[in-house]
Amino acid sequence: MCFKTLKYSVTESSGSVSITLQKHCQEVMTFLVKTTDGSAKAPEDYEEFNELIEMPEGPCEHVFKVKVIDDVVWEPDKEFTIAIMTPGGESQYEGDDTQCTVVILDEDRPGSIGFKERFIQVRRKDEVQYVVLERVDGSDGNISCLCKTTVANNVGGQKQAVEGSDFVAISERIEFKHTETIARVKVQMPDCKIKTDADGDEDVVTFALELTEPTEGVKISKKNMCFIDIQPENTIAEKAE
Ligand SMILES: [Ca+2]
Ligand SMILES: [Ca+2]
Distance 69 CA to ligand 1 centre (A): 8
Residue-level pLDDT at 237:
47
Q: Answer yes or no: same fold for 2-105 and 112-240.
A: yes
Residue-level pLDDT at 239:
44
Distance 13 CA to ligand 2 centre (A): 9
CATH code for residues 2-105: 2.60.40.2030
The SS3 call for residue 120 is strand
pTM summary value: 0.78
pLDDT digits (tens, 9 = 90+) for 211-231: 999 999 999 999 999 999 988
CATH topology of domain 112-240: Immunoglobulin-like (2.60.40)
Residue-level pLDDT at 205:
86
Residue 16 CA to residue 104 CA, distance in Å, equals 10
Instruction: Collect all residues with Cβ–Cβ distance below 8 Å to 107 and sequence separation of at least 6.
Output: 11, 12, 13
Instruction: Collect all residues with Cβ–Cβ distance below 8 Å to 165 and sequence separation of at least 6.
Output: 190, 191, 193
Q: Any idea where the domains of the chain sit in the sequence?
A: 2-105, 112-240
pLDDT along the chain (241 residues), means of 10: 96 96 95 98 97 96 97 95 95 94 97 96 87 97 96 69 89 97 93 59 85 96 94 55 41
Residue-level pLDDT at 125:
80
Residue-level pLDDT at 190:
81
Distance 177 CA to ligand 1 centre (A): 15
